[in-house]
Chains A and B, each alone.
Chain A
Amino acid sequence: MVNHSTRMRGSASFFQNAGALCRGDKRLLTFWIREGRRDSIPVCMVLITLGCGIYGSVIGFRQGPEMACYVALKLPAIIFLTLCVNGLLNGLLGLVLGSEIGLRQSLRFLLTGYAIMSVILGALSPVILFLNLNMPGPSADGALVGHAATLLLHTAVIALAGILAHIRLLSCVREFAATRRAGTHTFMAWLLGNLFVGAQISWNLRPFFVSPGLDVEFLRPDPFNGNFYEAAFRAMQNLSFF
């Protein structure tokens, strides 16, 4: 036990940290969050970059290696930009909601949560790549069906990884917060804020899936012209709901 703990605190490898994160190892999280270990942030950032990067390359691979590289860069960027935009707010919400989780601790918690999600996504990448390879390509017959199926598949996989990671994170936040109730409120506030901003940042960084007939490119020519919610509303208007 002592050896295991010492090893974890000292020179734990990424694989050991990734495994401990997925188990929700309380000693590791206590060590990272309560004792404010600085090395927790680079570990989480590397795990996010690797996990989301690999999964991003799988998403883009359907459109060729160029798009695979673009999405491999953009998927981790969504997470980091969301945390940058919401970082201060998350810290303030943690304090105001009475959980006594401040700015740095909230950043560590959320990075840890996203690192768990990234590890899950990275681990599922080979399976998803196999499924992708069995779907009609962008220039083949039935490209529209293939595009729709890919879109649904990736949405489901990302949602699954997000839910699993956040369930793990919720139990940790509840444990570290001043009260369980305050922990739950803080977690829900973080989740709502990150979903709201994350959707917009992913819209700004589009394309990821490249609809049939559109060009492969890193960013659309007008990334800041309009927002995700306006686009969703226009889509509903086009469906004649309004």
Chain B
Amino acid sequence: MTHEQTAQKPSDPLALRQGNGSNPVKGYEPLEGGCNLPNLIGALLKKPLAIIHDLEAQKNPGKIITCLILISVACLSAFGFVVGTFSWNAQLWAAPLKIVLGLFFSGLICLPSLYIFSCLGGVHARFQTIAGLLCSLVALSGLLFIGFTPVVWLFSVSSTSVSFLGVLLILLWGICVVFGCVLALRAGRALGMTNPIHIILWCLVFLIVTLQMTTTLRPIVGADAKLFHFEEKKFFLRHWGEQVMHDLRPGTFNRDPSN
């Protein structure tokens, strides 16, 4: 790359921070309408890169991150409540609590790796921006989960199989994570990413961590005498395999996984 080309590199975030560069990534522009909850919800759906822009430009980063966390907690709690209606009783409060805490713990343990992998991919961004990116990813997934809530409710009241609902929820989570990962890649590109493979790898790591969390915090779907099974350690593939094989036996469709 010649000196001239380097100087003209349009997505150099250092230049952007100093205000002497124009970013070619569509949507990477100041957030319009101020930093409030309704505006951030709209921005997450329509122009998520505007949130990343304001985070990187240090325009109310603390308030933006707080709002994103609030959106995530509200959406995931509502979604968790609907998941809990499959078994009712204690699961009505346990499922939302496990989903919210599980996702936030997953985010927390994946945040350092997101920062390092972003740096490896050529992203020049503050740690705060990367933390905001992760919060945006979770909040966007939460918003999509709210869209899926009526679908989950329909299957929650109709299904008799724990495995069916479990597989459905994991599929929906996969869809939400894909949208979140697309956001992470777009944000990476806006922040000067040179190689997307590192962020793609991180997305896989995040997905695996959240999937393992479903097993660590089991049971999230279905009733059980115990609220947690921390003493029995299992890899998520083994746990799901056992559960699905149990339900595959004829006449075993029911809402109680302990039967």
Closest A residue to B167 by beta carbon equals A229
Whether A95 pairs with B45 at a CB distance below 8 angstroms is yes
Query: Could you tell me the distance between the alpha carbons of A58 and B140 in the complex, rounded to whole angstroms?
Result: 45
B182–chain A nearest beta-carbon distance, Å: 9
With A95-B45, A227-B164, A230-B164: A197-B157 Cβ-Cβ less than 8 Å: no
Chain B CB within 8 A of A204 CB: yes
Closest B residue to A225 by beta carbon equals B160
**Can you report 15 residue pairs joining A to B where beta carbons are below 8 Å apart?**
A88-B146, A91-B147, A93-B147, A95-B45, A100-B46, A193-B151, A200-B154, A224-B158, A226-B160, A226-B253, A229-B164, A230-B159, A230-B161, A230-B253, A242-B248
Closest A residue to B164 by beta carbon equals A230
Whether B148 pairs with A227 at a CB distance below 8 angstroms is no
List chain A residues, Cβ under 8 A from B151. 85-86, 89, 193, 196-197
Closest A residue to B161 by beta carbon equals A230
Closest A residue to B250 by beta carbon equals A237
Chain B CB within 8 A of A188 CB: no
Whether A89 pairs with B147 at a CB distance below 8 angstroms is yes
Query: Could you tell me the distance between the alpha carbons of A237 and B151 in the complex, rounded to whole angstroms?
Result: 26
Closest A residue to B159 by beta carbon equals A227
List chain A residues, Cβ under 8 A from B88. none
- Contacts A84-B150, A85-B151 known; list 16 others, CB within 8 Å: A88-B146, A88-B147, A89-B147, A89-B148, A91-B147, A92-B146, A92-B147, A96-B179, A197-B154, A203-B158, A224-B157, A227-B155, A227-B158, A227-B164, A230-B160, A230-B253
Chain B CB within 8 A of A201 CB: yes
A73–chain B nearest beta-carbon distance, Å: 19
Near B by CB (< 8 A), chain A positions 91-107 give 91-93, 95-96, 100
List chain B residues, Cβ under 8 A from A224. 157-158
Closest A residue to B158 by beta carbon equals A227
Q: How many residues of A contact B (CB 8 A)?
A: 28
Chain A CB within 8 A of B203 CB: no
With A100-B46, A230-B160: A200-B150 Cβ-Cβ less than 8 Å: no
List chain B residues, Cβ under 8 A from A225. 158, 160
Q: A176-207 CB contact bits vs B (8 Å, 1 = yes)?
A: 00000000000000000100110011011000
Query: Could you tell me the distance between the alpha carbons of A224 and B86 in the complex, rounded to whole angstroms?
Result: 12
List chain A residues, Cβ under 8 A from B248. 242
B52–chain A nearest beta-carbon distance, Å: 16
Closest B residue to A229 by beta carbon equals B164
With A86-B150, A100-B46: A92-B144 Cβ-Cβ less than 8 Å: yes
Closest B residue to A196 by beta carbon equals B151
Chain A CB within 8 A of B143 CB: yes
List chain A residues, Cβ under 8 A from B46. 95, 100
List chain A residues, Cβ under 8 A from B253. 226, 230, 234
List chain A residues, Cβ under 8 A from B146. 88, 92
List chain B residues, Cβ under 8 A from A234. 253
With A100-B46, A227-B164: A85-B154 Cβ-Cβ less than 8 Å: yes
With A96-B140, A229-B164: A204-B150 Cβ-Cβ less than 8 Å: no
Max count, chain A CB within 10 A of own CB: residue among B150, B158, B160, B248: B158
Closest A residue to B46 by beta carbon equals A95
Q: B118-151 CB contact bits vs A (8 Å, 1 = yes)?
A: 0000000000000000000000100110111111
